[in-house]
Chain A
Amino acid sequence: MLDLLTGFVGELRAAGIPVSLTEHLDAAEALRHVPVEDREALKYTLGASLVKSSSHWRAYETAFEIYFSLRGPAYRIDDAQDGPGQLDTDDTGQMQGQGHQRGQGRGRGSGGGEGMTPEELADLLYKALLGANSSMVAAVARQAVSRYAGMEAGRPVGGTYYLYRTLRNLDLDGVLERLMAESRASTRSAAEDPGGGDPGGGDGGDPTVTLTSLEERLLRDEFQARIDQLKAEIENEIRRRLVADRGSEALAKSLRKPLPEDIDVMHATRDELVALRKALVPLSRKLAVRLARKRRHGRKGPLDFRSTVRHSLSTGGVPVDPKFRYPRPSKPEIVVIADISGSVASFARFTLHLVHAISSQFSKVRSFVFIDGIDEVSRFFERVDDPSEAVHRINTEADVIWVDGHSDYGHAFTVFWERWGEEITPRSSVLLLGDARNNYHASQAWVVKELQARARHVYWLNPEPRAYWDSGDSIVGEYAVHCDDVVECRTLRQLERFVGELA
């Protein structure tokens, strides 16, 4: 067990979760107190002692599933094969006969499956979802994977490929519609009370009643939740099989989920972008709190004589506790100029979001976006509480296309200089965002040089890995000579660090 734990801790560290030696010891100590057979308890025990942040929990869960997947009697891989086909058809028949009734524990038997037609499987799935029977959902998931995923031993593809294949064949959207239709029908007929598992008939009685829109919505959410559960089951099943095929360590490497703050923004998948967006809100809030604190509790200023004497009264006139004046440093003014063409759009969005979320830390924030034309977008951020709304409006309303909608840094900068150049003051810090892939247009680097002469600082944030800079049509080097600093900013973590230092 200890060896296993050590391997597991190693995997967590590799996934980026900081696990200290003390925590490792704690986990080992904790294992003595919980029954090891209880997988849930084990998961929470290790989680409580090893993982100290909720944003790491997903990565932890994945690693846990991989490392401790095959070690429980209920999780045997051959489960899906040992049920005789006879039982299976019985089961289905029974299910059809009993309609909505929740078949506790019966779902286990739906193994075999060789004799099942896709229609039967779909039907079984539908019953399982309607009855909210979790063991049956699990069985169906297992069944669906062995049927549709077409897994081949030793084939070096990730789990997502199999997941996609399975889900495509199940047509879950269709199932959802069918479930909804069924509930509507059952409310109309409202003959029997289906019990707690099926909310549709809850207010039954009058046969002519149809579902109100509120009930319909609740029902849809309920079924959606069950379908999500099914998806999770399918994912688990695929992972279990992959582990059996390739072994935990190899798999852990390929399935490792990066922490939200380490996701490469430019190459994030849709799911990852959602995770990023979620991580961004608390991140900006934390940053704002930290900066506000830094401002208030900065170094102490000169002695505040008046306040000291005032406070000395409680100690009989002895100035025990000297008071100081706190200096109030001036807040910088920020000008963000961001490229929002396809390749770097999401990065620009995150940066604008972050900068505006902490705009209280700056005396003024002005934002400009460009592709080959340039437009000021500060107005979108005025009087909205939620920066994401404004960011959404930028995508639809900003006027950034001049000729063909391919990035032209040179033209955008020139226009900026002509229209707004006067407004850059020695108090402004200018942030330039983009990969500097200029499609072989003229660079017009003199604008950046002029900006540097006028502004307090000019920074360039580049979302590309440093190794790709100045390759192909990237001309970040030409601009870099005129910037105070050029920063590689591929992840939220890097972005946060930069913005934190700026304020």
Chain B
Amino acid sequence: MSQEITTGFPVAGAPRFESIDAVRQGLAGVDYLADDGISGVVFLADRLAKPVLVEGPAGTGKTELAKSVARLTGSRLIRLQCYEGLDESKALYEWNYKKQLLRIQADSGQSWEELEEDIFAEEFLLARPLLEAIRSPEPVVLLVDEVDRVELETEALLLEILSEYQVSIPELGTVRATQIPLVFLTSNNTRELSEALKRRCLYLHIDYPQLERERLIIETRVPGISRALADQVARIVRSIRTLDLKKDPSVSETLDWARTLVVLGIESIDVEQARDTLHILLKYQTDIERAAKELAGVDSPD
């Protein structure tokens, strides 16, 4: 551990992945199609023992990435869903007040010193996701979901665990990680995260996939879809994304749409069918009208 302090880099455990390609193939094996950027960053996160901050539009597979990596490495996924008002007692640990009170009331014969030592024992500690991830003996993937929802001050809670993989509990001392978990933080970018947090993470921006990759994703995730239909779906979605809409269709919405088409037994989409099912892809009435009009070619450019 002294080495850790001198170099400033936490010592990574045994590498989980051989190479960047191994990551990509492994992820493809659990039905997650990663591109160069994604697999490269996951690989680095493992080698450098650094958390990954994943940003990007909603529904592009940020949370899915963490889940897939957990499946791939066969680790347990511990998830901390962030929300406004999240605090230490929900994220890190909490003393079990009620149990402590009971303990004090049940046994009044003890001296204060004994009692104090007693009620601040592990037994009375309620581990919340972050502490749980650190203490877990088996390999863990920790997912801190939508970290942009917590307040700026609460972010600070994460800093110690992200850089040192340890949690300091004043009454108990410092709990160090027995194994370095792979950490993913996702953000929908509703606010700027603090520099301190960003500095400790590798940054990964997941955008809407390229046409070819989106087609592959549709083929992998939607059973029973024909190649031609997948291709057509991907193309239409790309066309819709070039329009200036309030909310672009996300990958998950694309998949929903493709599934619907398969269920309806549609083999090749025409304008009529596209218009009837657009509400799955787009969630605003104005967007739907606009896209339907564009696809029908009423006022296509030139």
Binding site for B on A (CB under 8 A): 18, 20, 22-23, 25-26, 29-30, 33-34, 38, 40-41, 44-45, 47-49, 51-54, 57, 196, 199, 202-203, 212-214, 216-218, 220-222, 225, 282, 285-286, 289-290, 293, 297, 314-316, 320, 385-386
Can you give 21 contacting A-B residue pairs, CB < 8 Å? A18-B195, A26-B48, A29-B9, A30-B44, A30-B47, A34-B43, A41-B20, A47-B203, A48-B40, A48-B44, A51-B203, A52-B53, A53-B203, A54-B55, A202-B268, A213-B271, A216-B297, A217-B297, A218-B235, A315-B97, A386-B246
Whether A33 contacts B47 by the Cβ 8 Å rule is yes
The chain A residue with its CB closest to the CB of B210 is A225
Contact of A49 among B20, B195, B202 (CB under 8 A): B202
Contact of B48 among A29, A218, A285, A293 (CB under 8 A): A29
Residues of A contacting B135 in the complex (Cβ-Cβ under 8 angstroms): none
List CB contacts (< 8 Å) of B29-66 with chain A: 36-37, 40-41, 43-44, 47-48, 50, 52-53, 55-56
What 5 A-B pairs have minimum CB-CB distances, sorted nearest first? A213-B297, A52-B198, A44-B40, A48-B202, A54-B205
Beyond A48-B202, A218-B232, 16 additional pairs, beta carbon < 8 A? A22-B199, A25-B8, A29-B9, A29-B48, A44-B37, A45-B44, A48-B204, A202-B228, A212-B271, A214-B269, A214-B297, A221-B235, A221-B242, A282-B189, A314-B98, A315-B97
The chain B residue with its CB closest to the CB of A52 is B198
Whether B211 contacts A225 by the Cβ 8 Å rule is yes
Binding site for A on B (CB under 8 A): 8-9, 20, 36-37, 40-41, 43-44, 47-48, 50, 52-53, 55-56, 84, 97-98, 101, 151, 189-192, 195, 198-205, 207, 211, 228, 231-232, 235-236, 238-239, 242, 246, 268-271, 274, 286, 294-297, 300
Q: How distant is the Cα of A298 from the Cα of B151 in the complex, in angstroms?
A: 12
The chain A residue with its CB closest to the CB of B203 is A52
Q: How distant is the Cα of A320 from the Cα of B211 in the complex, in angstroms?
A: 57
Whether B300 contacts A45 by the Cβ 8 Å rule is no
Residues of A contacting B270 in the complex (Cβ-Cβ under 8 angstroms): 212, 214
Could you tell me the distance in whole angstroms from the C-beta of B97 to the nearest C-beta in chain A? 6
Could you tell me the distance in whole angstroms from the C-beta of B283 to the nearest C-beta in chain A? 13
Whether A214 contacts B205 by the Cβ 8 Å rule is no
The chain A residue with its CB closest to the CB of B234 is A218
Could you tell me the distance in whole angstroms from the C-beta of A51 to the nearest C-beta in chain B? 6
Residues of A contacting B55 in the complex (Cβ-Cβ under 8 angstroms): 54
Whether A48 contacts B239 by the Cβ 8 Å rule is no
Q: How distant is the Cα of A379 from the Cα of B211 in the complex, in angstroms?
A: 42
Whether B36 contacts A40 by the Cβ 8 Å rule is yes
Residues of A contacting B198 in the complex (Cβ-Cβ under 8 angstroms): 52-53
Residues of B contacting A23 in the complex (Cβ-Cβ under 8 angstroms): 199
Q: How distant is the Cα of A394 from the Cα of B238 in the complex, in angstroms?
A: 31
The chain A residue with its CB closest to the CB of B241 is A221
Residues of A contacting B239 in the complex (Cβ-Cβ under 8 angstroms): 217-218, 221
Contact of A26 among B50, B52, B242, B274 (CB under 8 A): B50
Whether B97 contacts A320 by the Cβ 8 Å rule is yes
Q: How distant is the Cα of A313 from the Cα of B107 in the complex, in angstroms?
A: 22
Whether A213 contacts B300 by the Cβ 8 Å rule is yes
The chain B residue with its CB closest to the CB of A389 is B286
Residues of A contacting B238 in the complex (Cβ-Cβ under 8 angstroms): 221, 225
Whether B20 contacts A222 by the Cβ 8 Å rule is no
Q: How distant is the Cα of A472 from the Cα of B224 in the complex, in angstroms?
A: 71
Whether B191 contacts A33 by the Cβ 8 Å rule is no
Whether A217 contacts B295 by the Cβ 8 Å rule is yes
Contact of A52 among B44, B48, B151, B199 (CB under 8 A): B199
Q: How distant is the Cα of A345 from the Cα of B294 in the complex, in angstroms?
A: 30
Whether B246 contacts A290 by the Cβ 8 Å rule is no
Residues of A contacting B246 in the complex (Cβ-Cβ under 8 angstroms): 385-386
Residues of B contacting A45 in the complex (Cβ-Cβ under 8 angstroms): 40, 44
Q: How distant is the Cα of A290 from the Cα of B151 in the complex, in angstroms?
A: 9
Residues of A contacting B200 in the complex (Cβ-Cβ under 8 angstroms): 22
Residues of B contacting A320 in the complex (Cβ-Cβ under 8 angstroms): 97
Contact of B235 among A57, A222, A282, A285 (CB under 8 A): A222
Residues of B contacting A52 in the complex (Cβ-Cβ under 8 angstroms): 53, 198-199, 201, 203
Contact of B268 among A53, A54, A203, A213 (CB under 8 A): A203
Residues of A contacting B44 in the complex (Cβ-Cβ under 8 angstroms): 30, 33-34, 45, 48-49
Q: How distant is the Cα of A482 from the Cα of B110 in the complex, in angstroms?
A: 75
Residues of B contacting A217 in the complex (Cβ-Cβ under 8 angstroms): 239, 294-295, 297, 300
Whether A57 contacts B274 by the Cβ 8 Å rule is no
Whether A48 contacts B41 by the Cβ 8 Å rule is yes
Residues of B contacting A316 in the complex (Cβ-Cβ under 8 angstroms): 98, 101
Q: How distant is the Cα of A218 from the Cα of B241 in the complex, in angstroms?
A: 12
Q: How distant is the Cα of A41 from the Cα of B40 in the complex, in angstroms?
A: 6
Contact A286:B53 (CB < 8 A) given known A216-B297, A315-B97: no
Residues of A contacting B205 in the complex (Cβ-Cβ under 8 angstroms): 54, 57
Q: How distant is the Cα of A229 from the Cα of B223 in the complex, in angstroms?
A: 32
Q: How distant is the Cα of A386 from the Cα of B40 in the complex, in angstroms?
A: 38
Contact of A196 among B56, B191, B231, B271 (CB under 8 A): B231
Residues of B contacting A214 in the complex (Cβ-Cβ under 8 angstroms): 236, 269-271, 274, 295-297
Residues of B contacting A18 in the complex (Cβ-Cβ under 8 angstroms): 195
Residues of A contacting B228 in the complex (Cβ-Cβ under 8 angstroms): 202
The chain A residue with its CB closest to the CB of B295 is A214
Could you tell me the distance in whole angstroms from the C-beta of A63 to the nearest C-beta in chain B? 16
Could you tell me the distance in whole angstroms from the C-beta of B164 to the nearest C-beta in chain A? 13
Q: How distant is the Cα of A285 from the Cα of B192 in the complex, in angstroms?
A: 11
Residues of B contacting A290 in the complex (Cβ-Cβ under 8 angstroms): 191
The chain B residue with its CB closest to the CB of A51 is B203
Q: How distant is the Cα of A320 from the Cα of B97 in the complex, in angstroms?
A: 10
Could you tell me the distance in whole angstroms from the C-beta of A193 to the nearest C-beta in chain B? 11
Q: How distant is the Cα of A48 from the Cα of B43 in the complex, in angstroms?
A: 11
Whether B271 contacts A44 by the Cβ 8 Å rule is no
Residues of B contacting A293 in the complex (Cβ-Cβ under 8 angstroms): 84, 151
Could you tell me the distance in whole angstroms from the C-beta of B162 to the nearest C-beta in chain A? 12
Residues of A contacting B295 in the complex (Cβ-Cβ under 8 angstroms): 213-214, 217
Q: How distant is the Cα of A453 from the Cα of B236 in the complex, in angstroms?
A: 58
Residues of A contacting B211 in the complex (Cβ-Cβ under 8 angstroms): 225
